[in-house]
Amino acid sequence: MTVHSVCNESDLAVGKQMAIKLEDKTILLFHLESGFFAIQNRCTHLFKSMTKGKVIDGCRIQCPLHRAEFDIKSGEVVKWANFPPGVQLMNALRPEKALTTYPVTIENGQVSVEL
């Protein structure tokens, strides 16, 4: 496990997200009402980058490709791939899979992510 210092708390306003490259990964860091959270950037369905994903209800990220939704805090699937109609046929081959989440800590206003 390696702890990476990624930004200052004030660099990311509540409701915002940013992509960060750490080691060989890109992660998404979110500042939600309830705090900072980090998840893997690639959707577990067909690996689309979610840097342009939509945040829904301040707690879920929607993949821009087939609209799977994930809980940002836990990484759990809330809704699996469902767009366009028919994509569900592929779901037998691509069963639901949660996103990896990464612990985030804040110390003296410095945000760190553990990989």
Interface with ligand FES (CB under 6 A): 43, 45-46, 48, 63, 65-66, 68, 81
The minimum distance between CB 17 and ligand FES, in angstroms, equals 16
The minimum distance between CB 15 and ligand FES, in angstroms, equals 22
Instruction: Enumerate the β-bridge partners of residue 111.
Output: 7, 106
Nearer to ligand FES, 59 or 81 (CB): 81
Measure the CA angle with vertex 47, ends 54 and 92; round to 5°: 105
> Residue 33 carries which side chain, given as an amino acid letter?
E
The minimum distance between CB 83 and ligand FES, in angstroms, equals 8
- Distance (Å, rounded) from C-alpha 42 to C-alpha 27? 8
Structure tokens at 6: 């990624």
Nearer to ligand FES, 31 or 48 (CB): 48
